[in-house]
Amino acid sequence: MRLPVAELHLHLEGTLEPEFIMDAAARNGVVLPWRSLEELRSKYRFTDLQSFLDLLYVNLEVLHTRDDFEQMTRSYLRRAAAAGVRHAEASTDIQAHTRRGIPIEVVVDGVRAALDTSEDDYGITTKLIISFLRDRSPDEAVDVLTRLLASGARFDGIGLDSAEVGFPPSLFVGLYDLARANGLHVVAHAGEEGPPQYVADSLDLLQVERIDHGNRSLEDAHLVARLVAEQIPLTVCPLSNVRLRVVDDLEQHPIRRMLAHGLNVSVHSDDPAYFGGYIDDNIDAIVDRCGVTNDELARLARNSIDASFLDAEGKARLHSEVDVWSEAHSPAR
């Protein structure tokens, strides 16, 4: 039995495997800069966040039809089920599609078609987060959110991602005010490459409920104390952190230190097709390379459940699954 977890930091466009990308390009008549699967595979070496985003945004241009978005989401859910994911709060970078002329409905209807049957099809409950690109204009983000709200599309929250440094949370106060006024949940990437102040500003100015990443919070003892006191969830992505050089190598990853501080951290896969694995691969990596114990794994799983937007009943159901896992993995056995 795999550790039962909630996956809360997952970009659907980051689940496009190279084969899917090449097939969709052929199907949709998209000419990619890469001529073969081998050439595409050779591009998966990153020096920082931007070098990864450059590849991600080219590859996602193969997505054109409602069926493409449905198949992308189904492929993720199928793989996530095998990885132990019992609840997923997946995000889509909608502006990466609207800016190239793909209608909002094509994206949302396709993703929803997979999410709406995912409990029956894959045993995974889901929520949908619409992420906004911080390196595009705040006015565009407000316009897209306004159109989404008017369209009747069903989604549960908003996020903020893409290039971080130089695009502080203060730019997006209006977007987050609009989201909260409409009863949406709010999360944001912060402290991946950006400074600790971006984490504090995401809490104070955007009033986010979770921080995606948050690694650089560790540089500020006052901020750490606040995150612990308020039990703000940090959705940490170890394999992503290594591939994007947020940490030097897995052995140096601060996940155990974060737990020891009492931070509400949990482990997620970010863009699994780009960073060497899904949530099970992230978990195996921190066990093998950081020495994370079974007790710590259970803590990480429980944190992921508590940080989710599930109701009390949904959380209790998943906690009882972690109880079963813990019992089977207790030292006495």
Known binding-site residue numbers for substrate = 271
Nearer to ligand ADE, 270 or 310 (CB): 270
Min dist CB 295 to ligand ADE, Å, is 28
Amino acid type, 203:
L
By CB under 6 A, the residues from 258 to 287 that bind ligand ADE are: 270-271
Q: Is 192 a catalytic residue?
A: yes
Three-class DSSP category at 236: strand
Contacting residue, 7, 61, 164, 270, with Zn ion by CB under 5 A: 270
Min dist CB 165 to Zn ion, Å, is 15
Annotated catalytic residue, options 13, 61, 89, 192: 192
Residue 14 is a binding residue for ligand ADE (CB under 6 A): yes
In this structure, the number of other CB atoms found within 10 A of the CB of residue 80 comes to 28
- Round to whole Å and give the CA distance between 134 and 169: 8
Residue 61 is a binding residue for ligand ADE (CB under 6 A): no
Min dist CB 237 to Zn ion, Å, is 7
Q: What is the DSSP letter of 89?
A: E
Nearer to ligand ADE, 68 or 93 (CB): 93
State the virtual CA torsion across 155, 316, 238, 159 in degrees, nearest 10.
Answer: 20
Q: How far is CA 118 from the centre of its chain?
A: 18
Min dist CB 49 to ligand ADE, Å, is 6
Contacting residue, 189, 216, 268, 299, with ligand ADE by CB under 6 A: 189
Contacting residue, 7, 68, 89, 161, with ligand ADE by CB under 6 A: 161
Residue located via tokens 């695009």: 167
- Round to whole Å and give the CA distance between 57 and 13: 9
Reading the block at residue 4, the tokens are 């039962």
What residues are designated binding site for Zn(2+)? 9, 11, 189, 270
Pairing outcome for strands 210-213 and 85-93: unpaired
By CB under 6 A, the residues from 209 to 248 that bind ligand ADE are: 240
Q: Which residues contact 143 (CB under 8 A, 6 or more apart)?
A: none
Cα–Cα distances in angstroms (integers) from residue 274 to residues 54, 158, 234, in the given order: 12, 23, 21
Residues paired with 87 in a beta bridge: 6, 125
Nearer to Zn ion, 34 or 95 (CB): 95
Nearer to Zn ion, 61 or 270 (CB): 270
Residue 11 is a binding residue for ligand ADE (CB under 6 A): yes
Active site members: 192
Using CB under 5 A, list all residues that contact Zn ion.
Answer: 270
Residues that bind ligand ADE (CB under 6 A): 11, 14, 49, 161-162, 189, 192, 240, 270-271
